[in-house]
Amino acid sequence: MGTSPQGRGRLIGRRLATRDVLLAEAIHREACSGPEHAFGDAHLTLLLRGAFEEVAGSWTRTMRPLSTSFSPPGLAHRDRVGRAGARLFTVWLGRSLADEFLLPSAFWQAPQQWESAAVALPLLRLYTELANTPESLDPLAVEDRLALLLETIHAPGHIRETRRPRWVDGARERITDCAAAPPRIVDLAREAGVHPVHFSRTFRQFVGVRPAEYRTRARVAAGCRLAASTSLPLSQVALAVGFADQSHMTRAFARVLGVAPAAYRTLLSD
């Protein structure tokens, strides 16, 4: 999976790779201009700070903080970093995932740029999760965030279901039964016979939350049952129900229930 070329004053920041997605932060400490290059993978880039330009042929794409851009595979271009440097966050899409998410639409065959906060904020949320809670970013969560972003930018087909599709309940069961290691969004969408963005949007329409949040709630529910019915240490409970560690489970309990796992266990023991 592609990454930007090393340049003078450039640092590789936070990184996380799932099967088909690479999240990568790049920090340029000073102005620079690189040679023309092209990448084999499609990618979305969010400029977090500084000034950044991409030059391709006769056009120049100028980005300011919280600008977002999309580059299709094979786009030949040169990068220019402004005098104050630049900090960028890029989401690289492996070829197989891009085939599922992007290729059905000609929209994604050309470079794009957005200044809209509606586009920037989902990417910024992904960046803050990478910085603060990387353990929460498994393939299902990353693909769910990606589906939300692509729905905001360009929803393929944009068909809203008027009746609850049968596959919604099947997907719920699959996520609940496999809460510790849930199937990916692209796998669930393929089983349902729909586009991943349509799958994620329709799941939220009829269930009330997105697939990743539903998975978190399923894990919290499983943790509640195990904490109440066994004397297992909470660190083992967390791993048994699919959390990365006890602190990951504690944050999820606090968000979903407003109480920590230890306090929940104590509450039921009184």
Same domain, yes or no, for 88 and 59? yes
Count of structural domains within the chain:
3
Same domain, yes or no, for 116 and 145? no
pLDDT at 10: 72
Within a domain: residue 181?
yes
Within a domain: residue 1?
no
Average pLDDT over every residue of 213-219: 92
pLDDT at 155: 66
pLDDT at 4: 43
What's the CATH number where 262 sits?
A: 1.10.10.60
Same domain, yes or no, for 71 and 151? no
Q: Is the pLDDT of residue 262 over 70?
A: yes
Same domain, yes or no, for 143 and 128? no
Distance CA 123, CA 114 (A): 12
Q: Is the pLDDT of residue 41 over 90?
A: yes
Task: State both tokens at 81.
Answer: 């970093």
pLDDT at 159: 67
Average pLDDT over every residue of 172-199: 89
More confident residue, 90 or 84: 90
Same domain, yes or no, for 77 and 24? yes
Task: State both tokens at 195.
Answer: 């586009």
What's the chain's average pLDDT?
A: 89
Same domain, yes or no, for 118 and 55? yes
pLDDT at 6: 45
Residue 167 one-letter amino acid: W
Average pLDDT over every residue of 220-243: 93
Within a domain: residue 25?
yes
Interacting residues of 221 by C-beta distance below 8 A, sequence separation 6+: none
pLDDT band at 106 (very low <50, low <70, confident <90, very high): confident
Q: Spell 191-224 as b/e; 16+ CB within 10 A means b.
A: ebebbbbbbbbbbbeebeebbbbbbbbbbbebbb
More confident residue, 213 or 158: 213
Average pLDDT over every residue of 207-217: 92
pLDDT at 157: 58
Among 110, 122, 113, 111, which Cα is nearest to 23's? 122
Interacting residues of 176 by C-beta distance below 8 A, sequence separation 6+: 218
pLDDT at 3: 44
Share of the chain above pLDDT 70, in %: 94
Residue 124 one-letter amino acid: L
pLDDT at 182: 78
Same domain, yes or no, for 76 and 161? no
pLDDT at 151: 87
Distance CA 22, CA 142 (A): 10
Same domain, yes or no, for 117 and 196? no
Whole-model pTM? 0.84
pLDDT tens figures, 1-35: 544 444 556 788 899 999 899 999 999 999 988 89
If you ran DSSP here, which 8-state letter would residue 37 be given? B
pLDDT band at 177 (very low <50, low <70, confident <90, very high): confident
Same domain, yes or no, for 20 and 108? yes
Same domain, yes or no, for 126 and 15? yes
Same domain, yes or no, for 37 and 99? yes
Rounded to a whole number of angstroms, the distance between the first and last alpha carbons of the chain is 53
Distance CA 156, CA 134 (A): 29
Same domain, yes or no, for 258 and 209? no
pLDDT at 54: 92
What is the residue range of 254's domain?
Answer: 223-269
Average pLDDT over every residue of 159-166: 83
Instruction: Give the range among 48-57, 87-96, 159-168 with minimum mean pLDDT.
Output: 159-168
Within a domain: residue 76?
yes
